[in-house]
């Protein structure tokens, strides 16, 4: 059944990934984990609206990468409504001078729930037709999806019965608008394909079902769309703890991208600032590794090869029945 649904989705998308008038306008909640100020989310909002959709942006006020399904509980959480006329809201505290006990971050999960429960109810009087989480600045692949705020927002939307698409681009989309425009155009095409091919009276995707979409570094010369499994491969990266973050080129490149976005400095200058800031400091870093998964059908492998990948997700942590049987044999007699 899983392979059949993937084949059907593939046929639908491959037959409609061309520009043509939108079938009908959708009510879409757009969120991310990089904040509402990123080029990626604003470019996608503009392209979705140009395609005829009604879009509410409800995203964290500040960067919340790697927060997964995190939530701030038992604290009042501010919502910035200064751009309500543009149907754009951000969730979370921004005053860094506050004491820890008074500071309430707006995580991706909280931001998308504001969009579904409050903003959508006020604007449309109903739940959205679709949640799109992203595009993220950096790919979310394989086992790394467990930590992703982009995926965390998509998963909580699925739990509320709303179809969801998680979208992640290469890190270069943080500063390369041309790449961001191409990623956004791909998302608009995917949404159109889902709308064009959904059975009458049904949701865009089956219940509790979403998509994890990743785009490669060079969207100008990508190899096309490949329908993949999530797998374990994180795109050639593994997380590891190091006692010297400044010596890790992967992590310093990521930090440099953030510095470039804030300051406008070139990459080399930003990289040197990052190294100076983190040399000798311990913390989590990215290292090369495939988590033991080199399958060509894993999204982490395919996106590294240059494909746009689409994996079907459902938020279910239940192991396959075959694995359940193997484990239960080792627990025989347990009371």
Active site residue 168: yes
- The distance between the two most distant Cα atoms of the chain, rounded to a whole number of Å, is 64
Which of 168, 180, 258, 304 is catalytic? The answer is 168
Residues 6+ apart with CB under 8 A from 323: none
Burial group, residue 28, by CB count within 10 angstroms (0-12, 13-18, 19+)? buried
CA pair distance 106, 90, nearest whole angstrom: 8
The distance from CA 11 to its chain's CA centroid, rounded to whole angstroms, is: 24
DSSP letter (8 states) at residue 75: S
CB 104 within 8 A of CB 125: no
Edge-to-edge strands of the sheet including 79-83? 79-83, 88-91, 54-60, 27-31, 130-137, 164-169, 210-214, 308-313, 225-228
CA pair distance 327, 175, nearest whole angstrom: 47
Counting other chains too, the contacts that 36-42 makes at CB distance below 8 Å and 24 or more residues apart are 36/60, 36/61, 36/88, 36/89, 36/90, 38/137, 38/174, 39/173, 39/174, 39/175, 39/177, 39/180, 40/134, 40/135, 40/136, 40/137, 40/169, 40/173, 40/174, 40/180, 40/183, 40/184, 41/134, 41/135
DSSP letter (8 states) at residue 158: H
Alpha helices in 31-130 (DSSP H): 39-50, 108-114, 120-123
Residues assigned a catalytic role:
168
């Amino acid at each position: 059944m899983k392979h059949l649904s993937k084949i059907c989705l593939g046929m639908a998308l491959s037959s409609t990934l061309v520009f043509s008038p939108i079938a009908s306008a959708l009510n879409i909640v757009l969120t991310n984990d990089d904040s509402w100020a990123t080029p990626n989310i604003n470019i996608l909002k503009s392209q979705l609206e140009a395609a005829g959709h009604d879009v509410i942006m409800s995203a964290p006020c500040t960067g919340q990468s790697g927060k997964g399904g995190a939530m701030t509980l038992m604290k009042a959480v501010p919502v910035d409504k200064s751009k309500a006329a543009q149907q754009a809201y951000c969730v979370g505290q921004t005053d860094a001078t506050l004491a820890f006990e008074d500071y309430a971050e707006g995580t991706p999960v909280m931001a998308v729930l504001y969009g579904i429960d409050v903003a959508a109810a006020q604007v449309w009087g109903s739940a959205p037709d679709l949640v799109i989480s992203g595009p993220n600045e950096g790919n979310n692949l394989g086992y790394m999806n467990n930590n992703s705020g982009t995926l965390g927002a998509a998963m909580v939307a699925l739990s509320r019965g709303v179809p969801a698409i998680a979208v992640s681009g290469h890190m270069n989309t943080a500063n390369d608008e041309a790449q961001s425009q191409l990623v956004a155009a791909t998302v608009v095409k995917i949404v159109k394909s889902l709308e064009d091919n959904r059975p009458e009276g049904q949701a865009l995707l089956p219940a509790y079902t979403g998509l994890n979409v990743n785009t490669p570094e060079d969207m100008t010369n990508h190899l096309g769309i490949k329908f993949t499994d999530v797998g374990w491969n994180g795109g050639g990266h593994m997380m590891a703890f190091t006692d010297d973050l400044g010596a890790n080129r992967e992590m310093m490149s990521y930090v440099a991208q953030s510095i470039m976005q804030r300051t406008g400095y070139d990459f080399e200058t930003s990289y040197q600032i990052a190294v100076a800031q983190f040399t000798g400091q311990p913390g989590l870093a990215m290292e090369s590794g495939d988590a033991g998964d080199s399958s060509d059908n894993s999204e982490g492998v395919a996106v590294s090869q240059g494909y746009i990948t689409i994996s079907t997700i459902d938020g279910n942590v239940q192991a396959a029945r075959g694995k359940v049987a193997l484990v239960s044999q080792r627990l025989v007699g347990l009371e």
